[in-house]
């Protein structure tokens, strides 16, 4: 659905239905289940608002894919934090680059503080996002589309057309790299202005982080490098995610394990935790730092760095009391650009190529066909195991 690879166990509805009978069924729930397919298409915000007390079977994951269990570490984790002010300070830049380099190699994730994006821009974006999902369904539904290239797309779950078990998420996706704002929603009235200001800030921050990452990798500093290419043209998709309160959060997920497709993703989350990152074969819950960005390496950067940097699986848990909003910005090269390992890494006597070249059409074909468990798009591009 969005610019993310969909691996994972969105599996067998038959077995999940058997495992869903936690709690007593009330009359409302019976009515809902008789009418559930039409309700489900309306998304989870609608379901949550209708007051259900039991999760419809279509959202119930089989036991081994549910969010609890042995693979979950008890503690919340503070991801490595990059203070952007230190990147701007020549005397501290080298140390900041080392922190960034280590974070991209091990976690594939870090948080950025002191990033210079105005607090009002951040608060305004979260506020307008929240208000969009409070609009009447008919207003939101105007933007429903199955066209993955649409400038604006409202939908539910992860990959609605393919998911065998649905996810507890509604989303609004906006293409930000073309002047298409007039296609974006007109309600709430401020959305276009606020989201385009936010998108410009996110892109600026991405460029700074990308420059730092390339420096840390000793790549692409020269003329004609990838950074110059990005300055001339790039792709930028924004997904606004809404995870309403869920009656049985232990049985489902807001987003299944996946990796992101681009170079870097910048995620703004509100104060409600939910994002989990796979690290050392365990799920760690990211502790939200107010006003910060969570940044993660995407598949393109893993490929471009020939496996030095890791595009790591992550997922989203939901909870029974607090709705959560996040805004994920996926930054990369233009869709038509073929991405492969950086040429500097593959010179004679250099290292072996670990990934095939890839392009957006291949990714879309993968999305349309992907239903394999624990199989990511990245794995389909691997020639040999990364470092
Ligand atoms: O909601 C979040 O914190 C993460 C969202 C995400 O991973 C995505 O949109 O790809
Ligand atoms: Fe993601």
Evaluate: CB of 299 within 6 angstroms of ligand 1. no
Q: Which uninterrupted H or E stretch holds 287? A: none
- What is the gyration radius of the CA atoms in the chain, in angstroms? 20
Evaluate: CB of 316 within 6 angstroms of ligand 1. yes
pLDDT of residue 158: 83
Ligand 1 atom at minimal distance to the Cα of residue 296: 7
Kindly give the distance from the C-alpha atom of residue 198 to the centroid of ligand 2, in angstroms, as a whole number: 19
User: Dihedral (C-alpha) 359, 361, 363, 364: value to the nearest 10 degrees?
Assistant: 160
ipTM of the shown complex? 0.99
Pocket test for ligand 1, best of 77, 157, 275, 313 (most atoms within 8 A of CB): 275
pLDDT of residue 25: 32
* Cross-sheet strand order for the sheet of 282-286: 4-5, 255-260, 314-316, 275-279, 282-286, 72-77
List the domains of the chain with CATH numbers: 35-381 (2.60.120.330)
DSSP 262: S
Kindly give the distance from the C-alpha atom of residue 108 to the centroid of ligand 1, in angstroms, as a whole number: 14
Kindly give the distance from the C-alpha atom of residue 50 to the centroid of ligand 2, in angstroms, as a whole number: 28
Per-residue pLDDT of the chain (387 residues; tens, 9 = 90+): 333 333 222 221 122 222 232 333 333 444 444 455 666 678 999 999 989 999 999 999 999 899 987 677 766 787 899 999 999 999 999 999 999 999 999 999 999 999 999 999 999 999 999 999 999 999 999 999 877 778 899 999 987 777 789 999 999 999 999 877 889 999 999 999 999 999 999 999 999 999 999 999 999 655 568 999 999 999 999 999 999 999 999 999 999 999 999 999 999 999 999 999 999 989 999 999 999 999 999 999 999 999 999 999 999 999 999 999 999 999 999 988 999 999 888 887 778 999 999 988 788 777 777 654 454 788 888 987 766
Pocket test for ligand 1, best of 255, 268, 298, 311 (most atoms within 8 A of CB): 255
Pocket test for ligand 1, best of 1, 157, 241 (most atoms within 8 A of CB): 241
Contact 20, 63 (CB under 8 A): no
Pocket test for ligand 1, best of 130, 155, 267 (most atoms within 8 A of CB): 267
**Residue with the nearest Cα to atom 3 of ligand 1?**
275
Kindly give the distance from the C-alpha atom of residue 8 to the centroid of ligand 2, in angstroms, as a whole number: 13
Residue partners of 327: CB distance under 8 A and separation at least 6: 125, 126, 129, 198, 238, 239, 240, 241, 267, 268, 269
**Residue with the nearest Cα to atom 1 of ligand 1?**
326
Ligand 1 atom at minimal distance to the Cα of residue 254: 1
DSSP 2: -
pLDDT of residue 16: 24
Tell me which ligand sits closest to the C-alpha of residue 293. Answer: 1
Ligand 2 (ion): residues with CB under 5 Å are 260
Ligand 1 atom at minimal distance to the Cα of residue 326: 1
């Amino acid at each position: 659905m969005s610019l993310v690879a969909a691996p994972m166990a969105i599996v067998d509805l038959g077995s999940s239905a058997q495992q869903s009978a936690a709690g007593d069924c009330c009359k409302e729930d019976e009515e809902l289940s008789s009418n559930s397919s039409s309700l489900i298409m309306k998304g989870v915000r609608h379901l949550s608002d209708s007051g259900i007390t039991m999760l419809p079977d279509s959202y119930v994951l089989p036991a081994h894919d549910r969010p609890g269990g042995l693979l979950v570490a008890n503690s919340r984790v503070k991801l490595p934090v990059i203070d952007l002010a230190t990147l701007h300070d020549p005397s501290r830049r080298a140390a900041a680059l080392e922190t960034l380099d280590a974070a991209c190699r091990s976690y594939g994730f870090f948080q950025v503080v002191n990033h210079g994006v105005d607090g009002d821009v951040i608060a305004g974006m979260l506020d307008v996002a929240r208000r969009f999902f409070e609009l009447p369904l008919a207003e939101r539904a105007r933007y429903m589309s199955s066209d993955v290239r649409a400038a604006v797309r409202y939908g539910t779950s992860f990959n609605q057309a393919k998911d065998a078990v649905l996810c507890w998420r509604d989303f609004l996706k906006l293409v930000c790299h073309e002047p298409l704002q007039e296609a974006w929603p007109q309600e709430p009235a401020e959305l276009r202005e606020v989201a385009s200001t936010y998108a410009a800030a996110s892109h600026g921050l991405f460029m700074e982080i990308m420059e730092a990452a390339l420096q840390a990798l000793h790549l692409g500093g020269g003329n004609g490098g990838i950074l110059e290419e990005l300055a001339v043209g790039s792709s930028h998709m924004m997904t606004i995610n809404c995870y309403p309160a869920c009656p049985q959060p232990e049985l489902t997920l807001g987003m299944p394990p996946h990796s992101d497709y681009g170079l870097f993703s910048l995620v703004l989350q509100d104060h409600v935790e939910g994002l989990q990152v796979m690290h050392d074969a365990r799920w760690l819950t990211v502790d939200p730092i107010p006003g910060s960005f969570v940044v993660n390496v995407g598949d393109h950067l893993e490929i471009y760095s020939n496996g030095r940097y890791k595009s790591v699986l992550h997922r989203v848990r939901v909870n029974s009391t607090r709705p959560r909003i996040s805004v994920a910005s996926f930054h990369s090269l233009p869709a038509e650009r073929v991405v492969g390992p950086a040429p500097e890494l593959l010179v004679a006597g250099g290292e072996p190529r670990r990934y095939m070249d890839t392009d957006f059409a291949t990714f879309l074909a993968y999305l349309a066909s992907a239903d394999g468990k624990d199989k990511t798009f990245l794995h389909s591009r691997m020639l040999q195991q990364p470092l």
